[in-house]
Amino acid sequence: MAVRLMESLATTGPLAELFSDGSILQAMLDFEAALARAESRLNIIPKQAAEAIVAAAVAANFDAAVLAQDALRAGTPGIPLVKALTEHVHKKDPAAAGFVPWGATSQDVCDTALALLLKKAQPILESDLGRLQDALRRLAVQHRQTVMLSRTLLQAAPPTTFGLKAAGWLAAIHRSQKRLHVGFQESLVLQFGGASGTLAALGEQGLAVGKAVAEELKLAYPDAPWHAHRDRLAALVCACGILTGGLGKMARDISLLMQSEVGEVAEAGGQSRGGSSTMPHKRNPIGCAVTLAAANRVPALVSSFLSSMVQEHERGVGGWQAEWPIISGVIQSTGLAAASMAEVAEGLTVDKLRMRANIEATQGVIFAERAMMLLGEKLGRDVAHKILEEATRKSVEQKRRLREVVGEMKEAREHLDPAALRELETPEQYLGVADEFQKRLLASAEQRSSNSVRDRGKE
């Protein structure tokens, strides 16, 4: 199993397995095997040679530790792998060894292996995002009418609903998932250009071989090799960055709502999750912490990738070599954040009573705007404003409800309908179009999401 204690909060899980040495090795070997098969199909190399190469292209035949060491001297893991594969083939079939790899260069091996790994990462990521969205949809529907404080600059503000809040998280994650999908589509392409991107060693058969290899590997075939043009990967990396930002926003919100003093929601505990042996009352926001950690790390990795795009001529010095750890870090951190927030959303406890109690605790001053709008219609905004300014000050100072204070003021008594005054602080009556917004967000997320589920089904 792939373990990295130092990065346990950043890389644990199925994506860590995907980027483990064995998995990477196999992806590189899969390219070699596909190339051999394709060239054999096109009668460029003997069928027997292809078979020998395919037979040898099994990760277990190779020692990742040795290859890593050699990679450092070669400047790429591709060169030592090809050398080791050639030696392996040679042992079985010396004649076949000369065809490893015919016409490809080490960057072709590495870049295509990366595309293959990303192809496997996509369903893992999308599945967690699917779980997360399902859970958020449930929360949004279930709490469509659950009123709570909105908070601007961390200060209490007029009410909203938890349904709208959840729908907002959902829609943002949904939009990001669509961008991620596009990013994957862009990135799942074959890289095959030979020494200098012209496939010169294959004469006029370069295109045919390329298309055949792409077909073998179920990768798209691009217009041309992209050895020094890394915008497709950049699009994927950026999509991860945006998604992680959205997940981080949700995690920040939840961790704030989980504060002892707020107490409106809680991550699920259990299985030593977020617990503390000495303080059983404590439910730490662990899923949020993992996600916020990702949101702290991923943006800078995106920056690194973008900086690294400035790659010289047909193969860069430094830019290309920087990419692997960046991409592996971005995909794993993003995936872990998605999985964590899926777990958080699925297990989230919502305390409606506490939400209402927190509204109550504001003494009604968050409804000052409402009172001012009501009075303003009668008295003009200026006058209304002055009245409310005085009323809210009193309410805060005297720790009395706003509606009481307002009710004692002459102008308010004259111009405000007693019923309106009584209902002034009823949160349900000051939600504006929260419900419409929630529905619109859900509808957008719903419709396209089913598409994307269908898309996933097709693949």
Cβ proximity to a second copy, 135 vs 330, nearer residue: 330
Residues 347-376 that bind a second copy (CB under 8 A): 358, 361-362, 365-366, 368-370, 372-373, 376
Can you tell me which of 48, 91, 92, 231 binds a second copy, judged by CB under 8 A?
231
Q: Select from 75, 85, 153, 105 the least CA-distant residue to 323.
A: 75
Stretch that binds a second copy, among 121-129, 197-205, 403-411, 416-424 (CB under 8 A): 197-205
- Tell how strand 265-266 and strand 349-350 pair up: antiparallel
263-282 positions binding a second copy, by CB under 8 A: 271-275, 277-282
E-only strand ranges, 109-256: 147-152, 155-161
**Cα 211 → chain centroid:** 31
335 binds a second copy (CB under 8 A): no
Among residues 4, 8, 276, 440, the one annotated as catalytic is 276
> Using CB under 8 A, which of the segments 129-137, 212-220, 328-336, 406-414 binds a second copy?
328-336
By CB under 8 A, tell whether 116 contacts a second copy. Answer: no
How far apart are alpha carbons 231 and 363 in whole angstroms?
54
| Residue 393: other Cβ atoms inside 10 A | 12
CB atoms within 10 A of CB 233: 25
Closer residue to a second copy, CB minimum distance, 417 or 457 = 417
- In whole angstroms, the minimum distance from the beta carbon of 418 to a second copy comes to 20
7 binding a second copy? (CB under 8 A): yes
The answer to whether 9 contacts a second copy (rule: CB under 8 A) is yes
- Whichever of 433 and 457 has its CB closer to a second copy, that residue is 433
The whole-angstrom separation of Cα 454 and Cα 457 is: 5
DSSP helix/strand/coil, 191: coil
Among 133, 191, 255, 449, binds a second copy (CB under 8 A): 255
CB count within 10 Å of CB 23 equals: 17
Shortest Å distance, C-beta 457 to a second copy = 25
User: What type of residue is 420?
Assistant: A
Which of 315, 370, 401, 403 is the catalytic position? 315
Contact call for residue 436 and a second copy (CB under 8 A):
yes
Q: Does 26 bind a second copy (CB under 8 A)?
A: no
Classify strands 147-152 and 155-161 as parallel, antiparallel or unpaired: antiparallel
Q: Who contacts 393 (Cβ-Cβ below 8 Å, separation ≥6)? A: none
Task: Say how many C-beta atoms besides its own lie within 10 A of residue 137's C-beta.
Answer: 19
Q: Is 422 a catalytic residue?
A: no
- Give residue 448's identity as a one-letter amino acid code: R
292 forms part of the interface with a second copy (CB under 8 A): yes
Interaction mask 119-158, a second copy, x per CB under 8 A: ------------------------------xxxxxxxxxx
**How many residues make contact with a second copy (CB under 8 A)?**
187
Other C-beta atoms lying within 10 Å of the C-beta of residue 167:
29
d(CA 401, CA 359): 12
Question: Which among 91-99, 121-129, 133-141, 412-420 is the span making contact with a second copy, rule CB under 8 A?
Answer: 91-99
Q: Which of 304, 346, 407, 423 binds a second copy (CB under 8 A)?
A: 304
Tell me if 266 sits within 8 A of 302, measured CB to CB.
no
Query: Please, which of residues 95-114 interact with a second copy by CB under 8 A?
Result: 95, 97-99
Smallest Cα–Cα separation from 311: which of 111, 30, 118, 117? 111
Q: Does 300 bind a second copy (CB under 8 A)?
A: yes
Q: Which amino acid is at 26?
A: Q
286 is an interface residue for a second copy by CB under 8 A = yes
Stretch of residues binding a second copy (CB under 8 A), selected from 124-132, 169-177, 211-219, 345-353: 169-177
Q: Is 452 a catalytic residue?
A: no
Smallest gap from Cβ 112 to a second copy, in A, equals 15
Phi/psi for 197 (5° steps) reads 85, 10
Determine, following the binding rule CB under 8 A, whether residue 24 of this chain makes contact with a second copy.
Answer: yes
Q: Which stretch binds a second copy (CB under 8 A): 129-137, 138-146, 211-219, 433-441?
A: 433-441
Q: What is the DSSP letter of 366?
A: G
Other Cβ atoms within 10 Å of 67 Cβ, number:
22
Footprint on residues 385-424 left by a second copy (CB under 8 A): 385, 388-389, 392-393, 395-396
From the list 251, 265, 338, 345, which residue makes contact with a second copy (rule: CB under 8 A)?
A: 251
User: Rounded to an integer, what distance in angstroms lies between the CA atom of residue 36 and that of residue 332?
Assistant: 31
Residue closer to a second copy by CB (options 72, 453) is 72
The CA angle 307-176-219, to the nearest 5 degrees, is 70
* Among 140, 293, 330, 375, contact with a second copy (rule: CB under 8 A): 293
Q: Round to the nearest angstrom and report the end-to-end CA distance of the chain.
A: 28
Asked if 249 is part of the footprint of a second copy (rule: CB under 8 A), the reply reads: yes
Among 296, 349, 447, 450, contact with a second copy (rule: CB under 8 A): 296
What does residue 235 show for φ and ψ, rounded to 5 degrees?
-65, -40
Catalytic residues: 276, 315
